[in-house]
């Protein structure tokens, strides 16, 4: 549940991020400079006030901040919560296209959306949005999976694999040798797959999935 303090702390953090005071942030957004003053955050009876939706919309627009980025600032303000950062997000089908990964198999280019997620200590972590039914019952259409290129894949791990032909799939790693990779399908209606390592662009470990 959101609190007044979390929202006001996020506004202050947004101001600091843009090297502004709370008053400077309000002015930048075309608001009265006193909009975010401490005196405006509570009523005379001591009850805290919420900032208006319009004022938040204006400061996001003025600073070029997305709603996801603002939500990340809100979550960062919650005691005990791990720090948040934005991770790249792309659809599973899109990931097979050129331009989304560099030659080393890391997120690249400008075609990615972004979502807030707890900082994993892996700057290369990214998210894929599942499409279709080939990964049922483990992953459903619309689920988002977080992938860590830095986490070494091990037998039994669920992994994202991209082939040189541009096919991207989520499977269970059944066997990995110096020459060959064998993958078990998550959906028994789909066949298992096997490739020579020379046919593989990357194998990245799945570390989290929305449910």
46: pLDDT strictly greater than 80: no
* Digit-coded pLDDT (tens) for 173-206: 999 999 999 999 999 999 999 999 999 999 999 9
By the 8 A CB rule, do 71 and 116 touch? Answer: yes
Block residue for tokens 């309000």:
26
In CATH, the architecture of 84-209 is Ribbon (2.10)
CA angle 41–44–49, rounded 5-degree value: 30
Mean pLDDT within 28-35:
93
User: Which listed CATH number (1.10.260.40, 3.40.50.970, 3.50.50.60, 3.20.20.100) goes with 4-76?
Assistant: 1.10.260.40
* Digit-coded pLDDT (tens) for 63-78: 999 888 888 888 777 6
Band the pLDDT of 110: cuts 50, 70, 90: low
Band the pLDDT of 81: cuts 50, 70, 90: low
In the chain, where are the structural domains located?
4-76, 84-209
What pLDDT, on the 0 to 100 scale, is given for residue 107?
A: 83
* Digit-coded pLDDT (tens) for 118-171: 767 788 899 999 988 888 899 888 888 999 998 899 999 999 999 999 899 999
What pLDDT, on the 0 to 100 scale, is given for residue 169?
A: 92
Q: Which residues, in sequence order, are bridge partners of residue 202? A: 162
Please tell me the distance from the alpha carbon of residue 59 to that of residue 98, in angstroms, as a whole number: 35
What pLDDT, on the 0 to 100 scale, is given for residue 79?
A: 67
29-38, 71-80, 87-96, 132-141: which range is least confident on average? 71-80
End-to-end CA distance of the chain: 20
Mean per-residue pLDDT over the chain, rounded: 87
């Amino acid at each position: 549940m959101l609190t007044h303090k979390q929202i006001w702390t996020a506004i202050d953090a947004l101001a600091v991020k843009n090297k502004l005071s709370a008053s400077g942030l309000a002015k930048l957004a075309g608001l009265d400079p006193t909009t975010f003053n401490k005196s405006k955050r509570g009523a005379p009876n001591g009850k805290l006030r919420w900032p208006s939706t319009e004022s938040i919309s204006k400061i996001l627009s003025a600073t070029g901040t997305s709603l996801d980025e603002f939500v990340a600032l809100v979550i960062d303000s919650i005691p005990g919560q791990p720090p948040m950062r934005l991770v790249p997000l792309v659809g599973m089908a899109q990931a097979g296209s050129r331009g989304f990964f560099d030659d080393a198999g890391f997120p690249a280019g400008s075609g990615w959306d972004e979502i807030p997620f707890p900082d994993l200590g892996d700057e290369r972590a990214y998210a894929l949005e599942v499409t279709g039914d080939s990964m049922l019952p483990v992953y459903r259409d619309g689920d988002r999976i977080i992938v860590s290129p830095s986490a070494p894949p091990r037998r039994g791990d669920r992994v994202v694999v991209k082939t040189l032909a541009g096919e991207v799939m989520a499977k269970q790693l059944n066997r990995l040798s110096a020459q060959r990779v064998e993958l078990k399908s998550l959906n028994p209606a789909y066949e298992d797959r096997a490739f020579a390592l020379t046919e593989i662009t990357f194998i990245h470990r799945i570390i989290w999935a929305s449910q």
